[in-house]
Structure 1
Amino acid sequence: MQYRMKKFQLTLEQIDGLLHRSDTGRFATINENGYPYVIAMHFVYFNNKIYMHGLPKGQKVDNLKRNSKVCFEVDELFGLLTDNIENACDTEAEYNSVVIIGNASLLEDLDYKREVLNKLVEKYTPQLVGKELPDNMIKGTAVIEVEIVECTGKYHK
C-alpha cells in the first residue's frame, strides 16, 4: 500500500457517506482491444453494491459481458490548498475519494431490477417516488450490479 494510503485512509463510515452522497461515479471496463474505457454514470449504493442503469446495448455492456472485472470511482474536491506557497508544484488538493474494484453483471430478476430502479428514482428524482415504473421500462433498461471485491478510500486535507 502506498504511504499516502496508509496515512490518509477514509474510515468505513466516511466511505459509506461518500458513496451515498455522490451524484456521479466513473465506471471503468476493459474494451475488446484491452484498453480501459471509463464513463461517468449516475449510481446508487445499495445492499453494499454499486448499481447503475442505462441502455441494454453499447460499449460498456459489451465490455462487461466480455470481462466482468471493473473499477468504479467517486470523489469530491473541496478546493486547492494554495496558502503560503511560492511554487505551483507545491499546490495540493483537499479531497475525498473512493476506488472500488469488483465484478459487474447485468441484473435479470425483474423484481430486483424494479427495486434498484426505484432506489435510483429516490436518489435522483425524489419528487417521483411512489409512481409505478412501467414493466416495459423495467425490461428495456439495463441495470448493472457491481459486486465489491476491494474498496479503498483516501483523503487529503
Structure 2
Amino acid sequence: MIRSMRRFKQALPLDACKEALKNGRRGVLSVIGDDGYPYGVPINYVYDEKENALYFHGAKEGHKIDAIKKSGKVCFTVFDEDYKEDGDWAYYVKSVIIFGRAKVVEDEKETLRMTRLIGLKYYPTVKEVDAILERTRGRVQGVRVDVEKMTGKLVHEK
C-alpha cells in the first residue's frame, strides 16, 4: 500500500504535478537494490502524460536494470529550482514523487520511440537526436514506468 501524503495542505494539484514532471530535467529513480537496500540514481527522463508513464534509458545491464527485472516497484522524485519571494528569507521548493511499476522494454521499435522522445526533450535539434539514435541503436535499454500514484508538494522552508 502506498501511503497518503501527511502534509496535505502543502499538496499540489495533479495538473501542477504533471507540469513539474514535464518540465523537470532530472530526477532520482529509487529501486529495491541488492540485499533489499534502496538504490537511488539520478536520471534524465521524459514524462508522457497521455500514457501516464515515465520513460528513461540506460545500459542494458547494471545495478538499476537488475533491480528493475527483480522487482519493478520504483519511486521517482523530481524537484524544481527553489525560489524566494521579494522580501522573504525562506525558499519555496516544489517536488513531485511518483510510485509505479517499471519494466524493461524488449521491443526495439518501442525503445526507439521512447529514446526519441527523451532526445527531443534534451537535444537542441531533431538532426542531433537522429544522429545520436543512429549511433546508439541496439545498445540502449528502454525502461517504462507506469505511474500508480503521483503526489506533489510546495514547501515554504520557514
SS in 2 for 1:28: strand
Map of 1:73 onto structure 2: 77
Task: Tell me how far apart the structure 2 counterparts of residues 107 and 138 of structure 1 sit (CA, whole Å).
Answer: 14
1:102 is displaced (CA, Å) by: 0.7
What is the aligned length? 148
Q: Contact 1:23/1:43 (CA < 8 Å) preserved in 2?
A: yes
After superposition, the CA RMSD in angstroms is 2.1
Q: Contact 1:29/1:60 (CA < 8 Å) preserved in 2?
A: yes
Q: Percent identity?
A: 28
Q: Contact 1:77/1:93 (CA < 8 Å) preserved in 2?
A: no
Q: Contact 1:31/1:37 (CA < 8 Å) preserved in 2?
A: yes
Q: Contact 2:5/2:151 (CA < 8 Å) preserved in 1?
A: no
Question: Bigger radius of gyration, 1 or 2?
Answer: 1
Q: Which has the higher strand share?
A: 1
Structural mapping, 1:8-157, within 5 Å: 8-46=10-48, 47-79=51-83, 93-129=91-127, 131=130, 133-134=133-134, 137-157=136-156
TM-score (norm 2): 0.84
Gaps in structure 1 of 5+ consecutive residues:
86-91
Q: Contact 2:14/2:150 (CA < 8 Å) preserved in 1?
A: no
Provide Cα deviations, 1:47-93, integer angstroms capped at 9, x if missing partner: 21011111111100111111111100001142468x688xxxxxx54
Gaps in structure 2 of 5+ consecutive residues:
none
Aligned letter for 1:151?
M
